[in-house]
Structure 1
Amino acid sequence: MKKTSALLLTSAMMASLLAGCGEKPKEEQAAAGAGNAKQVNLKVYTWLSEETAHWSKIMPEFNKEYPNIKVDVNILSSKDDAHEAMKKLDLAAASGQQMDVVMLNDSTGYTQRVNAGMLAPLDDFLKTDGIDYDSEYKATTQINGKYYALPGRLLTWFVMLNKQKLDEAGLAVPKEWTWDEFMDYSKKLTKGEGPSKQYGTYFHNWMQYITLANVNNPTNNRIVTADGKVEINNDRIRKSLQIANQVQNVDKTAHSYADVISQKLTYRNEYFGGKAAIIPTGNWMITEAAGSETIPAKFVSVFAPYPKFSKDDPNGQTLATIDYIGVAASSKNPKEAYEFTRWFTTKGILASEAMISSWTKADLNKMIDGLIKTGKNPEMVDKASLEYVMNSAKPVKIVAPPAYISDAEKRYTSEVEKFLLDKVDLETTIKNAEKAVTDVVNTNK
């Protein structure tokens, strides 16, 4: 899900920075006095669909507090396709359309926009509002000592399992496990051959699935650190590649990488279609596990913590990502755009009852209840195992990567593909990937 630059993004945020001032108590004052404020129109660009975000629940609540601000929510993808959404966002920016608030889906695109000068720091707004960022939000958006956005959803990873398949195999729901134990479960859950084969697991063609044992590293969980140090020739990356090769090529407990690419397989269809019994994924799948209009839930899903690299690692240590909410520099109403940004990242996400918030004041169990009940078949979610996993999760620190991380990851993936397609061995892959990524770093010095 890579993104190209959209110059108008910055403008909106920059403007917001100059405007979002008001001490913490002033947030309530602003809402209370909104009826006497000037009427303004904002345009919000988001990749989150109605089905995912429940805008129809969010916006009436915002309108109650800020009747003077009319918000036009532009949903850029009905399928939550961030790649498609960012293309449309760039086109809108290039054509000079009004932009006030912009939502970005990952740290790569966020960093690129900050380094391109598209986003302005929010520090002055936060200071004037009396907001202590670290006490307000669970994840940082800081780059080079400044905040250029506020965090929206907090997406943590776990393993989702088909309870029926577990019961048939006589396997318990893990409360703590390693990647070796995960692979053992995958073997025991694989049966049959040919088109009707049931696979133990499924690995998609995302970067996370070729860095599985590294993404929950409490330090240096990207292949390049923020200061440009290459982190590939290490035990965690080596283990990640061994895991992918073991399940996809050796044990054949998952579709091969070649099949995933050539057949354009999707993780939702593989899991909800009963073709893969367990899948490492993120908490955006909770509502889907409870069933949706497009994919009804046909079996109970249970949940296990993200597997550990080493048995001595803390339980629950997991990959975490966030959405980034900023204000476009071209906004003619930056103060109001900031107010919406701040409100959305606190009260707005809670109003949706469909997302997990990064706000420290949010009640996690209430958010879990909201996610489950929005599904068409809430009884298909094992609430006990889900609450255990979510409450014991220890998200690793989110660190903004260097601006060229997209190129570095492409080069890394290119070398890893050769390994997964059985063209080169593991150590050659590590060596070649390290060199390829180092070349990217050196080019950008």
Structure 2
Amino acid sequence: MKKTSALLLTSAMMASLLAGCGEKPKEEQAAAGAGNAKQVNLKVYTWLSEETAHWSKIMPEFNKEYPNIKVDVNILSSKDDAHEAMKKLDLAAASGQQMDVVMLNDSTGYTQRVNAGMLAPLDDFLKTDGIDYDSEYKATTQINGKYYALPGRLLTWFVMLNKQKLDEAGLAVPKEWTWDEFMDYSKKLTKGEGPSKQYGTYFHNWMQYITLANVNNPTNNRIVTADGKVEINNDRIRKSLQIANQVQNVDKTAHSYADVISQKLTYRNEYFGGKAAIIPTGNWMITEAAGSETIPAKFVSVFAPYPKFSKDDPNGQTLATIDYIGVAASSKNPKEAYEFTRWFTTKGILASEAMISSWTKADLNKMIDGLIKTGKNPEMVDKASLEYVMNISKPVKIVAPPAYISDAEKRYTSEVEKFLLDKVDLETTIKNAEKAVTDVVNTNK
């Protein structure tokens, strides 16, 4: 009798315990499951600094959802120096260091490292998760039919303007304009001579500033297409060179190319120092327009859409670039590395409150608010004009270029420099640049 009673009591207790377990909330069950999962350590290599990406905000949010994955974030540059960071990344890969997630800053570096075998294809993971890539992301990372990365930040271009100088010149904030109208504004905003001269604009020595009218071409916006076709002898490239020559050498509404190179000028100092009234640039400058520790904002910045090549072009069509986040081919934990990659390119960027995401489900205006409030002087950003520009922006298609694109761009730049230094005429420059780039293409066939 006693044995039977004890057995019944034990059975009842077990039933009660099992019932209690069954009543636990799903969230607790999921957390328990994650706690029992295999602990994995990932090494993430990135060029994005704490100041830019806010890793201290991102990682606690990731740890809440994936407590079994410990992530070591290796920041390769303290000043967002992509060139320095990529050299360190390649060195780490060559020396066989643990590498699980890799972040790259542009399509050129992405293509080169895919061809070098650094990144693993993600197609099987995307298929398993049932992800329709084109409905999830605003930019493609596809190379030869496969995805080797997911897009991180979406960097679109616009024109940033000093409101005080616009008001002094009696100029309205443009809501739609062409490059010819941009150059007219630049003339009206230029005054004075010598060291104290106020320039209308500033063109840096980047590739974008010698292809300004071509980078927002909705089809072929690089000087070499993905399949190796040279795109230089056309109206958009010709217009780009005419714009650069007009502002730097003819109207003299910007520092000459020679000054930019010889004096090692920087676009931040030129604009925020009040030496240039307007500047074509990208949305990474939103936070800086709101002031930083290094450069406080001393005037209100307003924003205008990227200028159009032709007045008949759609308004808001703009150059766009992305960061590429991929799984290292050498990773011993590719599934977990993919999970971090997928999470970062969706929820992670939003958690930072410091970047614009390529994820289609992200709230653009909320991201803009985050960027502005990150600055030290948020009142110095004209939010109305910024929201207008960002919401009408139509990023052109981003296509991964051939692996030799950096060599092609160096040869193109070399020929264009001769034109901007007044050594060669426009048509000779087009002809010589086309030949030089074609030689690079043929060498790499």
Q: TM-score scaled to structure 1, two decimals? A: 0.93
Does the 8 A contact of 2:191 with 2:198 survive in 1?
A: yes
Larger RCO (alpha carbons 8 Å, 6+ apart):
1
Write out per-residue CA displacement over residues 195-248 of structure 1, whole angstroms, 9 at most, x where no aligned residue: 111111000110000000000000100000111110000000000000000000
Post-superposition offset of 1:8: 62
Q: CA separation of 1:31/1:247 partners in 2, compared to 1, >3 Å: closer, same or farther? A: farther
4-13 or 67-76, which deviates more:
4-13
Task: Assess if the C-alpha contact under 8 Å between 1:11 and 1:331 holds in 2.
Answer: no
Between the aligned partners of 2:147 and 2:20, the Cα distance in structure 1 is: 13
SS, match of residue 89 in structure 2: helix
Deviations 1:84-139 (A, max 9, x none): 11111122222222111110000000011112222221111100000000010010
- Following TM superposition, the consecutive aligned residue runs of length 4 or more in structure 1 with deviations greater than 3 angstroms are 1-33
CA distance in 1, matches of 2:194, 2:4: 40
Q: Relative to 1, partners in 2 of residues 1:230 and 1:344: Cα closer, same or farther, differing over 3 Å?
A: same
Q: 1:356 offset after TM fit, Å?
A: 0.2
Distance change in 2, residues 1:368/1:141 (3 Å)? same
Distance 2:258 2:21 in 1: 53
Secondary structure of the corresponding residue to residue 42 of structure 2: strand
Change (3 A) 1:11 1:197: farther
- Please report the RMSD computed on the Cα atoms of aligned residues, expressed in angstroms: 12.3
Q: 1:158, CA displacement in angstroms?
A: 0.2
The farther-off stretch of 133-142 and 8-17 is 8-17
Conserved? CA contact 1:101–1:326, under 8 Å: yes
> Residue 118 of structure 2 contacts residue 330 of structure 2 at CA under 8 Å; is this kept in 1?
no
SS at match of 1:6: helix
Deviation at 1:28, TM superposition (A): 13
TM-score (norm 2): 0.93
Which whole-Å CA distance do the structure 2 matches of 1:269 and 1:68 have between them?
A: 45
Unmatched 5+ stretches in structure 2: none
Structure 1 residue 370 displacement after superposition:
0.5
What 5-or-longer segments of structure 1 have no aligned partner? none
Q: How many residues align?
A: 445
Contact (CA 8 Å) 1:216, 1:319: kept in 2 or not? Answer: yes
Cα pair distance change 1:30/1:217, threshold 3 Å: farther
Give the distance between the partners of 1:190 and 1:20, measured in 2 at CA: 76
SS in 2 for 1:221: coil
Deviation at 1:5, TM superposition (A): 74
> CA, structure 1 residues 429+65, in 2 after alignment: closer, same or farther (shift >3 Å)?
same
Deviation at 1:33, TM superposition (A): 3.6
Q: Contact between 1:55 and 1:352, CA under 8 Å: does it hold in 2?
A: yes
Contact 1:12 1:101 in 2 (8 A): no
Name 1:106's counterpart in structure 2. 106
Q: Is the 8 A contact 2:117 2:329 kept in 1?
A: no
- Per-residue CA deviations over 1:295-340 (Å, capped at 9, x if unaligned) read 1111100000000000000000000000000111221221111110
For the 8 Å contact 1:139–1:397, the answer to whether it is kept is yes
* 1:433 to 1:20, Cα distance in 2 relative to 1, 3 A: farther
Could you tell me which residue of structure 2 aligns to residue 246 of structure 1? 246
Cα deviation for residue 4 of structure 1 reads: 77
Rounded Cα–Cα distance in structure 1 between residues aligned with 2:355 and 2:108: 21
| Partners of 1:3 and 1:109 within 8 A in 2 | no
Distance 1:6 1:320, change over 3 A: farther
3-state SS of 2:5 partner:
coil
Cα distance change on mapping 1:331 and 1:179 into 2, 3 Å:
same
Q: Check the 8 A contact 2:306/2:317 in 1, yes or no.
A: yes
Q: How has the CA–CA distance of structure 1 residues 63 and 7 changed in structure 2, closer, same or farther, with 3 Å as cutoff? A: farther
Q: For the Cα contact (< 8 Å) 1:318–1:394, is it kept in 2?
A: yes
Larger radius of gyration: 2
